[in-house]
Structure 1
Amino acid sequence: MLKQLGCHGMNNFTQLACPNFKKISSSGTMNNMLTSGSFSSPSQSSAHDDDPSQNESHNMMGEVHSHLEENIRPYIDLIDSLRSVGIQKDLALPTIVVIGDQSSGKSSVLEALSGVALPRGKGIVTRCPLELRLKKVTGVNWKAVLTYWPVKAGKQASGQAAWSTRNEKKLEFEDPSSVERHVATAQNELAGKGVGISDDLITLEVMSPDVCDLTLIDLPGIARVPLKGQPEDIGEQIKRLIIKFIEKQETINLVVVPCNIDIATTEALKMAQEVDPEGKRTVAILTKPDLIDKGTEKSVLAVVQNKVIPLRKGYIMVKCRGQQQIDDHIPLEAATQIEREFFQNHDYFRCLLKKDKATIKCLAIKLTQELVDHIKKFLPQLDEKIKKHLWDTRNELKECEGGPPQDPKGAKQFLTQTLKRFNDQINSLSSGELILKENLFAQLRAEFKKWNDHLNRLKTSFSNSKAVSQKNRGRELPGFSNYKVFETVLQKHVAKLNKPANDLLSSMKDIILEHLLDVVNHCFRNYSVLKNITVSKINNILSGQQEKAEQRILEQFEMENLIYTQDPIFLKILSEITNERCSEEQLPMFDKKCKYSHMLEAHYEIVVQRMADQLPMMISLFMLKETAEVLSTDILGLLDGANVSELLFEDSDVSKRRKDLRVRLDRLSAAQAALTEFI
Structure 2
Amino acid sequence: KNMPALERQIRDTLHKTLQDMQRYNRGTPQTESEKLFFLTDLIKLFNQDICQTTRGEEQLFGDEVRLFTKIRKEFHTWGVILLECAAKAKKNVPSRVWKYEDQYRGREFPGFSNYRTFEDIIKEQIRELEEPAIEILNNVMRLVEDKFIDLSTKNFANFHNLGRAAKVKIEDIREKQAAEAERHIRAQFKMERIVYCQDDLYIGYLNTVKAENAPIVSAGRDLQFPAPKEPSTLHFPGIFYQFSILHFFSPIMQGASKRLCNQIPLIILSTVLHDFGENLQTSMLQLLQDKEKLNFLLDEDSEAAKTRNYLSQRVDRLTKACQYLREFSLL
Kept in 2, the 8 Å contact 1:465–1:597? The answer is no
Kept in 2, the 8 Å contact 1:527–1:649? The answer is yes
Name the amino acid aligned to 1:632. Q
Equivalent of 1:469, from 78, 84, 100? 100
Q: Distance in 2 between matches of 1:593 and 1:653?
A: 72
Name the amino acid aligned to 2:58. L
Q: Distance in 2 between matches of 1:386 and 1:593?
A: 64
1:447 matches 2:67: no
* Counterpart for residue 613 of structure 1: 262
| Count of aligned pairs between the two proteins | 294
* Counterpart for residue 655 of structure 1: 305
1:638 matches 2:287: yes
1:622 matches 2:271: yes
Kept in 1, the 8 Å contact 2:10–2:318? The answer is yes
Kept in 2, the 8 Å contact 1:577–1:598? The answer is yes
* Counterpart for residue 186 of structure 2: 554
Name the amino acid aligned to 2:182. E
Give matches, 1:424-503, under 5 Å.
Answer: 424-436=48-60, 437-460=64-87, 461-462=89-90, 463-471=94-102, 473-479=104-110, 480-503=112-135
Kept in 1, the 8 Å contact 2:24–2:304? The answer is yes
In the TM superposition, residue 402 of structure 1 has moved relative to its aligned partner by 1.9
Give matches, 1:97-136, under 5 Å.
Answer: none
Q: Distance in 2 between matches of 1:611 and 1:385?
A: 43
Kept in 1, the 8 Å contact 2:28–2:300? The answer is no
Kept in 1, the 8 Å contact 2:97–2:113? The answer is no
Q: Distance in 2 between matches of 1:378 and 1:482?
A: 71
Query: Structure 1 residues 547 and 380 mapped into 2: Cα distance closer, same or farther (>3 Å)?
Result: closer
Q: Distance in 2 between matches of 1:645 and 1:568?
A: 66
So what's the TM-score if we normalise by structure 2? Answer: 0.80
Query: Structure 1 residues 616 and 476 mapped into 2: Cα distance closer, same or farther (>3 Å)?
Result: same
Q: Distance in 2 between matches of 1:676 and 1:553?
A: 56
1:538 matches 2:170: yes
In the TM superposition, residue 558 of structure 1 has moved relative to its aligned partner by 1.5
Offset from partner CA, 1:226-251 (integer Å, 9 cap, x none):
xxxxxxxxxxxxxxxxxxxxxxxxxx
Give matches, 1:295-334, under 5 Å.
Answer: none
Tell me the SS of whatever aligns to 1:579.
helix
Pairwise CA RMSD: 2.7
Give matches, 1:32-181, under 5 Å.
Answer: none
Between structures 1 and 2, the one with greater helix share: 2
Q: Distance in 1 between matches of 2:49 and 2:119?
A: 48
In the TM superposition, residue 579 of structure 1 has moved relative to its aligned partner by 1.1
1:406 matches 2:56: no
In the TM superposition, residue 459 of structure 1 has moved relative to its aligned partner by 1.8
Give matches, 1:242-253, under 5 Å.
Answer: none
Offset from partner CA, 1:4-53 (integer Å, 9 cap, x none):
xxxxxxxxxxxxxxxxxxxxxxxxxxxxxxxxxxxxxxxxxxxxxxxxxx
Kept in 2, the 8 Å contact 1:574–1:602? The answer is yes
Give matches, 1:291-370, under 5 Å.
Answer: none
Query: Structure 1 residues 384 and 612 mapped into 2: Cα distance closer, same or farther (>3 Å)?
Result: closer
Offset from partner CA, 1:58-108 (integer Å, 9 cap, x none):
xxxxxxxxxxxxxxxxxxxxxxxxxxxxxxxxxxxxxxxxxxxxxxxxxxx
* Counterpart for residue 205 of structure 2: 573
Tell me the SS of whatever aligns to 2:86.
coil
In the TM superposition, residue 519 of structure 1 has moved relative to its aligned partner by 2.0
In the TM superposition, residue 417 of structure 1 has moved relative to its aligned partner by 1.6
So what's the TM-score if we normalise by structure 1? Answer: 0.41
Give matches, 1:485-524, under 5 Å.
Answer: 485-524=117-156
Which one has the largest radius of gyration? 1
In the TM superposition, residue 673 of structure 1 has moved relative to its aligned partner by 4.7
Q: Distance in 2 between matches of 1:610 and 1:382?
A: 48
In the TM superposition, residue 674 of structure 1 has moved relative to its aligned partner by 5.2
Kept in 2, the 8 Å contact 1:412–1:644? The answer is yes
Offset from partner CA, 1:642-672 (integer Å, 9 cap, x none):
3111111111111101011112223344455
Kept in 2, the 8 Å contact 1:502–1:550? The answer is yes
Kept in 2, the 8 Å contact 1:487–1:563? The answer is yes
In the TM superposition, residue 608 of structure 1 has moved relative to its aligned partner by 0.1
Q: Distance in 2 between matches of 1:521 and 1:678?
A: 38
In the TM superposition, residue 468 of structure 1 has moved relative to its aligned partner by 3.6
Kept in 2, the 8 Å contact 1:468–1:485? The answer is no
Q: Distance in 1 between matches of 2:324 and 2:211?
A: 75
Q: Distance in 2 between matches of 1:646 and 1:547?
A: 32
Tell me the SS of whatever aligns to 1:424.
helix
1:601 matches 2:250: yes
Between structures 1 and 2, the one with greater strand share: 1
Kept in 2, the 8 Å contact 1:574–1:599? The answer is yes
Q: Distance in 1 between matches of 2:59 and 2:3?
A: 32
Name the amino acid aligned to 1:571. I
Name the amino acid aligned to 2:124. K
Tell me the SS of whatever aligns to 2:303.
helix
Q: Distance in 2 between matches of 1:570 and 1:385?
A: 56
Query: Structure 1 residues 456 and 389 mapped into 2: Cα distance closer, same or farther (>3 Å)?
Result: closer
For CA contacts below 8 A with separation 6 or more, give which structure has more relative contact order: 2
Structure 1: stretches of 5+ with no match in the other structure: 1-376, 582-590
In the TM superposition, residue 387 of structure 1 has moved relative to its aligned partner by 4.2
In the TM superposition, residue 455 of structure 1 has moved relative to its aligned partner by 0.5
* Counterpart for residue 421 of structure 1: 45
Q: Distance in 2 between matches of 1:382 and 1:402?
A: 31
Name the amino acid aligned to 1:637. Q
Bigger mean CA deviation after superposition, 511-520 or 408-417? 511-520
1:564 matches 2:187: no
